[in-house]
C-alpha cells in the first residue's frame, strides 16, 4: 500500500499542499470576499486527523509538505501539528516542511516554526505601500507583516515573498519590490492573478498583468538569465545579474505548467483537489473517519489521484474569464 502515487499522465505526486483552516485575518481582494462565511469547527479535520492524512501521503511518496490556509497560523494549537510533522523530517521520509503565510503571525511563531523543522517560508506581500496594502488586504496592516519578516529572518528562516501581479495596482512597485528583496537577501516570486471565486466588484480581466509584460519591464533595467532551478513548485526562475538575486515567475495563464504538475491540494475539510484550476474533487474525510485502519483511506487517495486531469482551462485571451473556478482561492489554499 506504500507504492508511489502516479497519476493517469505518468506524473509522480510528490508535493502535498494542505489547508489547515479556511479562516484568515486578512480579506485580500483576489482571494476572498470581505464578508466570508467560514466553516463550523465540526466540519474541519482535527489536528490528529491532519497528521494521519499527511502521514499516509508521505508513506506513498510525498516528499514536500506545504501548509496553507486561509492563514495557517491563526488555527488554534497549530504548532502542535508542525511539531508532529517534524518527525518525518527526522526519519528522512520527508524532505521539506514549509508554509505559505500572510506574515501577520510570524512575529509570534517564527522561532517555533524553525524549531519544528521549517527552514523556508513563503510570505504573500503584494505592495510595500502602507495605504495600498490596507486596500488590497482590506484588514491587514503592513508594519505588522514587516515585523514578522524581521522575526523570520532572525529565527533563521529563508523567506520568499510572493506578489500577485495586479495591473494598475503594483506595476509601479516592480523595481521597488525587487530592490527590497535584494537588500534583505529574500527571494521574490511574481504570480499571475487567477479567476477564482465570486468576482463581485473585482474586475479580474482588468486586474490581469501578464508576466510576459512584467519580465519585459524588468529587462529595461536588469539583465535576466533563465535558470533551470526548480523547488517542486510551478515557478520558473531568472537571475538578476546586477544584484545576483533570483526572481520566480508563476504563469498559469500566459504559460501554464500543467505538464510537470507533481502536486495535489487538500482542504481543511478533507476534500482533495488534484487541479487548482478545476472543480473536480474527492472526499477523504469519510474514509479517514470510517476506520482506524488505513486501507479505506489509502484506496480513496489512490482513486482520487486516478482522476487527476491533464491541466486547467484558465484563459483570458478572449477578454473573457474562461475556465473560472467558483470556489475562492482560500478554500484550497492557493
Average pLDDT over residues 89-94: 98
Is 132 labelled as part of a ligand binding site? no
pLDDT at 307 over 50: yes
pLDDT bucket at 233, cuts 50 / 70 / 90: low
Q: Is 28 annotated as a binding residue?
A: yes
On whether 24 is known to bind a ligand per the annotation, the reply is: yes
Task: Say if residue 185's pLDDT is above 80.
Answer: yes
Contact 219, 203 (CB under 8 A): no
Predicted confidence at residue 34, as pLDDT, reads 78
Q: pTM of the entire structure?
A: 0.87
| 77 has pLDDT over 50 | yes
Cα atoms in the Cβ-side hemisphere of radius 13 Å centred on 119: 6
pLDDT at 143 over 60: yes
Strand 158-165 to strand 224-226: parallel, antiparallel, or no bridges (unpaired)?
Answer: unpaired
Residue 208 annotated as binding site: no
What is the pLDDT, as a whole number, of residue 73? 97
Does 268 carry a binding-site annotation? no
Consult the annotation and say whether 263 binds a ligand.
yes
DSSP 172: G
Q: Is 332 annotated as a binding residue?
A: no
Average pLDDT over residues 189-201: 66
Percent of the chain predicted with pLDDT > 70 = 86
CB 73 within 8 A of CB 110: no
Structural domain 15-332, CATH architecture: Alpha-Beta Barrel (3.20)
| pLDDT at residue 200 tops 60 | no
How high is the mean pLDDT of the chain?
88
The verdict on whether residue 273 carries a ligand-binding annotation is no
More confident residue, 83 or 194: 83
- In this prediction, residues 215-221 reach a mean pLDDT of 97
Q: Is 54 annotated as a binding residue?
A: no
Which residues are CB-contacts of 72 (< 8 A; sequence separation ≥ 6)?
19, 20, 21, 78, 99, 100, 101
Reported as a single tens digit per residue, the pLDDT across 38-73 is 888 889 999 999 999 999 999 999 999 999 999 999
Neighbours of 21 (CB within 10 A): 23
Q: What is the pLDDT of residue 319?
A: 45
Q: Average of pLDDT values for 193-218? A: 71
Using the CB atoms, write b or e for 65-99: b if 16+ within 10 Å: bbbbbbbbbbbeebbebbebbbebbeeeebebbbb
Tell me whether residue 194 is annotated as binding.
yes
pLDDT tens digits, one per residue of 27-39: 888 777 778 888 8
Question: In the predicted model, what is the mean pLDDT of residues 71-100?
Answer: 97
Max Cα separation, the chain?
Answer: 59
Q: Can you tell me the mean pLDDT for 181-195? A: 90
Grid coordinates representing 287 are 474514509
30 among the known binding-site residues?
A: yes
pLDDT band at 196 (very low <50, low <70, confident <90, very high): very low
Instruction: Round to whole Å and give the CA distance between 226 and 205.
Output: 28
* 160 labelled binding-site residue: yes
pLDDT for the residue numbered 88: 98
Amino acid at each position: 500500500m506504500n507504492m508511489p502515487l502516479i497519476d493517469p499522465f505518468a506524473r509522480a505526486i510528490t508535493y502535498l499542499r494542505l489547508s489547515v483552516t479556511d479562516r484568515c485575518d486578512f480579506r485580500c481582494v483576489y482571494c476572498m470576499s470581505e464578508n466570508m462565511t467560514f466553516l463550523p469547527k465540526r466540519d474541519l479535520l482535527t489536528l490528529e486527523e491532519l497528521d494521519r492524512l499527511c502521514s499516509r501521503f508521505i508513506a506513498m511518496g510525498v516528499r514536500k509538505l506545504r501548509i496553507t490556509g486561509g492563514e495557517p497560523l491563526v488555527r488554534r494549537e497549530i504548532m502542535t501539528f508542525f511539531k508532529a510533522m517534524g518527525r518525518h523530517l527526522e526519519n528522512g521520509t520527508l524532505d521539506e516542511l514549509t508554509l505559505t503565510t500572510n506574515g501577520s503571525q510570524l512575529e509570534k511563531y517564527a522561532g517555533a516554526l524553525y524549531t519544528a523543522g521549517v527552514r523556508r517560508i513563503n510570505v504573500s506581500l503584494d505592495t510595500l505601500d502602507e495605504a495600498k496594502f490596507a486596500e488590497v488586504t482590506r484588514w491587514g496592516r503592513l508594519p505588522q507583516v514587516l515585523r514578522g519578516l524581521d522575526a523570520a529572518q532572525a529565527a533563521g528562516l529563508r523567506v520568499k515573498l510572493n506578489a500577485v501581479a495586479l495591473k494598475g495596482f503594483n506595476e509601479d512597485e516592480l523595481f521597488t519590490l525587487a530592490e527590497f528583496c535584494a537588500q534583505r537577501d529574500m527571494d521574490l516570486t511574481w504570480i499571475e492573478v487567477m479567476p477564482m471565486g465570486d468576482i463581485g466588484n473585482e474586475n479580474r480581466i482588468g486586474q490581469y498583468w501578464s508576466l510576459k509584460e512584467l519580465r519585459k519591464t524588468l529587462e529595461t533595467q536588469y539583465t535576466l538569465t533563465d535558470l533551470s532551478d526548480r523547488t517542486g513548485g510551478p515557478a520558473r526562475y531568472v537571475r538578476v545579474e546586477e544584484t545576483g538575486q533570483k526572481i520566480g515567475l508563476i504563469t498559469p495563464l500566459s504559460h501554464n505548467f500543467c505538464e510537470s504538475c507533481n502536486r495535489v491540494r487538500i482542504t481543511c475539510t478533507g476534500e482533495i483537489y488534484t487541479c487548482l484550476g478545476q472543480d473536480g474533487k474527492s472526499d477523504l474525510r469519510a474514509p479517514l473517519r470510517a476506520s482506524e485502519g488505513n486501507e479505506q483511506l489509502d484506496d480513496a487517495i489512490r482513486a482520487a489521484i486516478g482522476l487527476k486531469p491533464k491541466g486547467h482551462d484558465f484563459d483570458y485571451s478572449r477578454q473573457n474569464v474562461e475556465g473560472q473556478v467558483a470556489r475562492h482561492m482560500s478554500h484550497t489554499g492557493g
